[in-house]
Amino acid sequence: MKSFEMLSNFESIEQQITKGGEISPFLLLSHNLELLHGNVLSFLRELLGKNKIDMQSLFHLADTGEALKIDEVKKFITQGSVRPRFAFQIFFIENISRMTTQSQNACLKFFEEPGEWNIVILTSESEAWILETILSRLQIIREHSPSLNKKNDFYLSMIESHIAKKSDELLKYFFAGKFEKSEYVDFLMTLLLFASRSPKYIWLCDEIEEDIGGILKNNLQGRYIIDKYIMKL
């Protein structure tokens, strides 16, 4: 079942494809890759059908759990240099985190300049194992649950305690060690939800959304961004 957020993401991708021209690859991030992969395949098949493009124009590297080695990846992207009979063709790589460093480097040129007829869709649970040189060339789309999960509840509790001056747990938590981008983004998403429900802090919403995008797309340092909000709360 596709969530409203997922449908919105697919619509955004389709709009870019419909406009034509060269499009930077899309990286879809989710903690439920099995569900995501099924939904992406359904979307891509529908997209090809709408544009009267045969299914042979969909090149798919499924997640087998094994590392993606350089020879396999090179063979897969070879078709990208061949202009298709139709308006576009699609390259879908499941769980790009499986790619070795050599494999990722072999794809660097393809991701940087995929060509106006190649649409590239990638998935992963996080950016942790993806080279920064690759990430800088991708359009990153992260799925977020519309409701609070246990991690969000944990963050929300720290935010409320910090505002009430009852605890310095928030400050200690984020400055005790180094976290992945996803951790900083999850916290900021919780803060965004909190601010949107609070008349006192609703003015922060636009800034928080901008900073989330800065972390995901421009590699801004999440630690310093969170420090800024700790000072503002």
Instruction: Give domain limits for the chain.
Output: 4-142, 150-232
- From the CA atom positions of the chain, what is the Rg in Å? 20
Nearest to 142 by CA among 60, 222, 32: 32
Q: Rank 76-80, 140-144, 152-156, 221-225 by mean pLDDT and report only the highest.
A: 76-80
pLDDT for the residue numbered 44: 95
Report the CATH fold assignment for 4-142: Rossmann fold (3.40.50)
Max Cα–Cα distance, the chain, nearest Å: 65
- C-beta atoms surrounding 168 within 10 Å: 12
Name the pTM for this structure: 0.63
Residue written as token pair 């910090």: 162
* Res. 148 pLDDT band, cuts 50 70 90: very low
* Res. 3 pLDDT band, cuts 50 70 90: very low
